[in-house]
Amino acid sequence: MNNTTDILLETFRSTPDILTGLLRNVSDQQASAARGGDENWSVVQVLCHLRDAEERNLERIRLMRTQDNPVLEGYDQEQWARERNYAAAHLDEVLPAFLKFRAATLAELASLAPQEWERPGRHTEEGPITILSHIQRLVRHDAIHLAQIARQLSE
């Protein structure tokens, strides 16, 4: 691994600790009531989004690693929120599920050979990507939602 991927993995690895710290003394009721962002989702709904995105991203990484330039389908987050009933979710179920998926993603990334970080895929919405560029995007995605959750809990 090189310095770029080391820094990227270190940052990506920090999200579970940050989430756990932010939510340490937050009740399910507080997490369900704190709303914000463009979607006006509660903290629990944002966590559902992170959990489902992590599940999908793990699939994408595995596809890029094992197939030559696979097509990676986008998804409608609002449709998933309805179908997976984000509004009825509970903090004590969603956070552990996210942590499980993130641990699996981190294990998958840790097992990559340096050259595998450049394995490509074709995202139906974003175009050509690599495992490296995909994880860079996920680090930004994490940061946006961590800041959103912090704001919602402080209001």
pLDDT of residue 38: 80
Count the Cβ atoms, other than its own, within 10 Å of residue 92.
12
pLDDT in tens, the chain (155 residues): 568 888 989 999 999 999 999 999 999 999 999 888 888 899 999 999 999 999 999 999 999 999 999 999 998 889 999 999 999 999 999 999 999 999 999 999 999 999 999 999 999 999 999 999 999 999 999 999 999 999 999 98
Count the Cβ atoms, other than its own, within 10 Å of residue 119.
22
User: How far, in whole angstroms, is CA 101 from its chain's centroid?
Assistant: 9
The answer to pTM > 0.75 is: yes
In the structure encoding, which two tokens stand for residue 82, read together? 């309805």
pLDDT of residue 22: 96
pLDDT of residue 2: 65
User: How far, in whole angstroms, is CA 112 from its chain's centroid?
Assistant: 19
pLDDT of residue 92: 95
Q: Where are the alpha helices (DSSP H) in the chain?
A: 3-23, 28-33, 43-66, 77-83, 91-110, 131-154
pLDDT of residue 75: 86
pLDDT of residue 39: 84
The amino acid at residue 64 is M
**DSSP string of 112-147?**
--GGGGG-EEEETTTEEEEHHHHHHHHHHHHHHHHH
Is the separation of the CB atoms in 65 and 112 below 8 Å?
yes
**3-59+80-112+133-154 homologous superfamily:** dinb family like domain (1.20.120.450)
pLDDT of residue 134: 95
Q: How far is it, in rounded angstroms, from Cα 60 to Cα 10? A: 20
| Domain ranges within the chain, ordered by starting residue | 3-59+80-112+133-154
